[in-house]
Structure 1
Amino acid sequence: MLRSAAVRRSLSKGEVSSLLSYRYKSSFATALNTAARLVTPKALLNNPVSLVSNEMNTLAKNIVTLIGSGHPLLNRISGYYFEAEGKKVRPMLVLLLSRALSQIPLEERDRIKIDYTDVPEDPVYSKVQHSRLFENVPASISPLHILHGIKPLNPLTKGPEPLPQEFDRARGILPKQRRLAEIVEMIHTASLLHDDVIDHSDTRRGRPSGNIAFTNKMAVLAGDFMLGRATVAISRLRNPEVVELVSNSIANLVEGEFMQLKNTAIDADHTTFNNGTQHIPPPPTKFELTEHEYRVPTSSTTNGTQLSHDQLVDMAFDYYLHKTYLKTAALISKSCRAAAVLSGVRDPIIEECYEFGKNLGICFQLVDDMLDFTISAKDLGKPAGADLELGIATAPVLFAWREDPSLGPLIKRNFSNPGDVEAAALAVKKYDGVGKTNELAKDYCNKALQNLRNGLPNSDARSALEFLTNSVLTRRK
């Protein structure tokens, strides 16, 4: 704020504007400045990682300990994606959220549920509730000679060392929350190994993808192994609710992938797949396979009435957003919820943490879908323009379809005819599909920011989360 006219006259017009705008800083600017003050050296200014730098610096090393195998080839490919510099957004969110939750007083963190009838006799469970928050992750639950197999002195897989606790109390991140961050990154990386095989990708994080460097079979098996090690680590958290949340996110990833492989909102023929070229085998006669009660609407008619073009597009958007949640946002939202559960906070805050992860995850994928149209493969670190080539209609295409109904047949046949990809790309450009997707991403970003403010007390960690949330909109890879 300027104190006098004399002061105002001594400043340039640009400086006055800058000072005046400072009074009305946005939450983004506040988050940026808060994060910047906490980072050293100056080269790392504006980096929210500073608040969880100890944990992030050792993340890959700890994960390799979790997934390490006695077989050299399996060991090599399992750690392959951790060697390159990835975004590591998911574990960073878990760690920052854990720090933010630690600002809530212990007396308000009393939601620790343990089913004593389903827990073996263990002195850990005889502790008072608050101290249970700080308990470490056991190296194993079953006897080691059973886990290690017939040659217990030379196991292929073994239990990890317990987490050190010295830093946790000072930084507010509980031992189990740190292990959760590592598990989440393991699940995400396993999905990348599988995705690169499914999508025939050549590159990942700026170098040959796992399927190219090691073959498809090894990449799939390594992804399976990593998921297996992740589920072992989940069980050692000894929290049934967290085990259910994180394990279910793995199933969500697969459900989302199937929604993408067979878009039933566009193609109502449930007897074929692969653009109608392959028939689904008939169902078994010995038992009935039933879908559960909730399904995304997948019919072009309602009560025998043909849907309008706008209604069809709306239904396609519902399907797309649900698929986006399952493929991308489920792991983020459920890991955020799990971090809140492990912190012992009460239900309203747990819900806000979950909604934050859901809204941020959808925002993240919307931006990813935009980048597929706007960034080169070199900058993206993976093939650009891949979605259309794979026959996937993302938000930019759906926005274009709303303006140009002729795109419908192209979307239905997954852009499989010559010229389909080019026609869809031109329509996205003509009808500003990228710009409209950006506006939708902003809406989800704003919802995520509101969730943070509703659920968390003001703190450096919350400011860093706000900064990170806003930065999703401007990322380039």
Structure 2
Amino acid sequence: MFYLSNKKHIKEFLSYCKTKCFNSLLINKNDYLLKENATWKSNLYHLYKKRDINPFVELIKASLFIFKRKYLRNKVLSDTNRKTFNSYEHNSLLYSDSVYKEILLCMKVLHYKEEEVDRDLNNLHDHFNTIKSGIDPYMLCENKIKNIDEYIYNIIKTDYNNIDEFITYIYLYQGKKFRVILSILLKNILSYVDNNISSKNNFKFRNIQRNSSKLIGSSKNSLSKKKLAIINSPINNVSKKKIVENQNKIIAASEIIHMGSLLHDDVIDESTKRRGALALHKKYGNKISILSGDFLLARASSVFAGTGSPKICRRFAYVVESLIKGEFLQTNLKYRNIEDALKTYFIKTFHKTASLFSHLFACIAILSFKNEKITELCFNLGLHIGMAFQLYDDYLDYKVDSNTKTPILNDLKNNIKTAPLLFSYNYNPEIILSLINKRSLTDSDINNILFYINKTNSMKKNELCSLLHIKKASDILSSLISYCRTTRNVEIANSEKNEINQSREALINLVLNILSRNTK
């Protein structure tokens, strides 16, 4: 009767007894207590006839058993639902207020005066000129880039010749490996970050460390100092090899997701070319392009599942979800004011571009057994680099081409309104807002937009936003570097410090190269 010692259960149980046990003979077609076990009911009758037991007491006992079973079943269901809810809650908390604060970093720029914009631009350019070095990130990572390329090809190749024809063509869609090189450099830096493994980290290779500790306890005296040093390492050589392999695989798979999304984008935007080549849907048709994009997504998903980490799978599911959300946010929406339009633009930019950077960087940290603090820093590093990249990409759409002497305006022709148009609102807020809310733009509208942009400091504000995100990324990188640790051996430590500094400088240079691009 220990169960009934909890007062809150007594009232429920007595109520249950009242309805069940004091019911006339408990003979009711809906009474599962006796109905569910005919043998028990028969035995109870015969025992009662022999006066061996008190039926009322037995019914009380049975009622308590049934009541408790119902309670436990409901509790399990409740706990399961709570866990499910917590899972959904976790999904929504992933994009918490702090994340949106990072995404909306440049909202304040909207109301900057011209002198404020010029001052901040000059200060940021001066700052970046002082930290930029001569290290070429492409040369530094050349061999590792080729390694990732091999992973990409091996993941997407098939035994079907007709599919391979499309896949080989898709393989040409790869750009300058910007995200790949960033990931390689971040991976190098994380290998030196002090590794405080969280107890919540359930990645399967953590068992290696647990098994190593058991081995030490059983045969500590028989091991040499050198062997003990290897075993005592939080991540031994075997697991390091597997970690690096998984990191390379998800870097490759993230590029495959990007390639697949481009195939879908080209169909949606009716693009004729992709990086100088004829778009796949123009060469083979929309059906082939869409199916090829789906195929790439499926292949990438199998890679994420192969890591054995649910966190990795979940994060890249968010990436795919983000790409779709971004596409919806890019459609014609109506805005009451310019602030809402700009806020939606920044959130759309995160979903369509920065999300892949941020989750990839976070996953590289997760596979390195880094704690939540380091993982969050990596996520935000990717967020700000991705935002800076896309903001400058939108800037280039309005920048006058040196050959044609005219801007590209691909986005505007597809009725996609980006930062340069939004930041020109000072010229005439009502007119600009009406243009933003227009479902389709005429040639006259486009000419007017170019006029408004040229009459304001809109392009400067757009550039400033890119620089502010780069500055934030630079600060986060400095925080990551501060967690780096080297060995006690002076000679080895100097070599490790040199490698850390090279990776840091190369990463900064690569991010700053965003601003030196002349084409999208």
TM-score, normalised by the number of residues in structure 1: 0.68
**Cα offset for 1:125?**
9.3
* Matched-pair contact (CA < 8 Å) for 2:198–2:371: yes
Q: Hey, what's the Cα distance between the residues in 2 that align with 1:213 and 1:126?
A: 54
Task: Determine if contact 1:90/1:184 at 8 Å carries over to the other structure.
Answer: no
Instruction: Indicate if the aligned counterparts of 2:209 and 2:234 stay in contact, CA closer than 8 A.
Output: no
* Cα separation, 2, equivalents of 1:240 and 1:225: 22
**2:262 pairs with one of 162, 177, 192:** 192
Does 2:477 correspond to 1:388?
A: no
User: Residue 425 of structure 2 corresponds to which residue in structure 1?
Assistant: 401
Structure 1 residue 363, shift from structure 2 partner: 0.7
Assess, with a 3 A threshold, how the Cα gap between structure 1 residues 415 and 49 changes in structure 2: closer, same or farther. same
Structure whose residues are more often helix by fraction: 2
Mapped partners of 1:378, 1:74: distance in 2: 38
> Partners of 1:187 and 1:327 in 2: how far apart?
12
Letter in 2 for 1:78: I
Deviation at 1:112, TM superposition (A): 7.1
The one-character-per-residue Cα deviations of 1:165-202 (angstroms, maximum 9, x if unpaired) are 5xx9xxxx811111111011001111111111111111
1:130 to 231, 234, 237: 234
Q: Which string of whole-angstrom CA distances, capped at 9 and with x for unpartnered residues, describes residues 428-459 of structure 1?
A: 12213222200111111111111101122452
Superposed displacement of residue 376, structure 1: 4.0
Name the aligned partner's letter for residue 435 of structure 1: K
Deviation at 1:127, TM superposition (A): 5.0
Q: Do the aligned partners of residues 127 and 320 (structure 1) sit closer, same or farther apart at CA in structure 2, a change above 3 Å counting?
A: farther
RMSD after superposition: 2.8
Q: CA deviation at 1:111?
A: 3.6
Contact 2:173 2:259 in 1 (8 A): no
Pair 1:125–1:453, CA change in 2 (3 A): closer
Task: Tell me which residue corresponds to 2:316.
Answer: 246
In the alignment, the residues of structure 2 paired with residue 132 and residue 243 of structure 1 have an alpha-carbon distance, to the nearest angstrom, of 25
Change beyond 3 A, Cα 1:134–1:431:
farther
What is residue 373 of structure 1 aligned with on the other side? Answer: 398
**Aligned residue number for residue 142 of structure 1:** none
CA 1:377/1:206 → structure 2, altered by over 3 Å: closer, same or farther? farther
Distance (whole Å) between structure 2 residues aligned to residue 133 and residue 367 of structure 1? 41
The residue type equivalent to 1:468 in the other structure is: L
Contact 2:151–2:248 under 8 Å retained in 1: no
User: Superposition pairs for residues 451-470 of structure 1, below 5 Å?
Assistant: 451-456=476-481, 457=484, 459-470=501-512
The partner residue of 1:223 within 293, 307, 310 is 293
Matched, 1:209 2:279: yes
> Match of 2:508, as an amino acid?
E
Q: Pick closer, same or farther for the CA change 1:397–1:208 going to 2, 3 Å.
A: same
1:23-42 correspondence runs (5 A) = 28-33=129-134, 35=135
- Structure 1 counterpart of 2:191: 102
Letter in 2 for 1:402: N
**Paired residue type of 2:184:** L
**Residue 134 and residue 259 in structure 1: after superposition, are their counterparts in 2 closer, same or farther (change >3 A)?**
farther
- Say if 2:389 is the partner of 1:364: yes
Q: Does 1:176 align with 2:266?
A: no
Alignment of 1:55 onto 2:144: yes
How far has the Cα of 1:342 moved from its partner?
1.1
| DSSP-derived class of the 1:130 partner | coil
Letter aligned with residue 69 of structure 1: T
Identity of aligned residues (%): 27
Alignment of 1:77-476 (within 5 A): 77-83=166-172, 86-105=175-194, 108-111=195-198, 113=200, 115=202, 127=211, 130-131=234-235, 135=239, 165=241, 174-264=244-334, 266=335, 300=336, 312-374=337-399, 376=401, 384-405=408-429, 406-456=431-481, 457=484, 459-476=501-518
> In structure 2, what residue type is equivalent to 1:224?
D
Distance 1:134 1:396, change over 3 A: farther
Where does structure 1 lack aligned partners over 5 or more consecutive residues? 1-24, 36-46, 137-164, 267-299, 301-311
Output the CA distance in 2 between the equivalents of 1:26 and 1:413: 40
Alpha-carbon distance in structure 2 between the residues aligned to 1:337 and 1:123: 22
Unpaired runs of at least 5, structure 2: 1-125, 213-232, 485-499
Shift of 1:79: 3.0
**Paired residue type of 2:141:** V
1:374 is aligned with what amino acid? K
Deviation at 1:124, TM superposition (A): 7.0
Contact 2:271/2:279, CA 8 A, preserved across alignment: yes
Q: How many Å separate the matches in 2 of 1:51 and 1:401?
A: 43
**Contact 2:377–2:476 (CA under 8 A) maintained in structure 1:** yes
After superposition, the Cα gap between the structure-2 partners of 1:69 and 1:85, relative to the gap in structure 1 and judged at 3 Å, is closer
Structure 1 residues 361-417: Cα deviation after superposition (integer angstroms, max 9, x where no partner): 1111110001111154989xxx93111111111000001123322122222113434
SS of alignment partner, residue 330 of structure 2:
helix
Aligned mates of 1:390, 1:134 — CA distance in 2: 51
Determine which structure has more spread, i.e. the larger CA radius of gyration: 2
Is 186-195 or 414-423 further displaced after alignment?
414-423
Deviation, 1:354, is 1.0
State the secondary structure of the residue aligned to 1:393.
coil
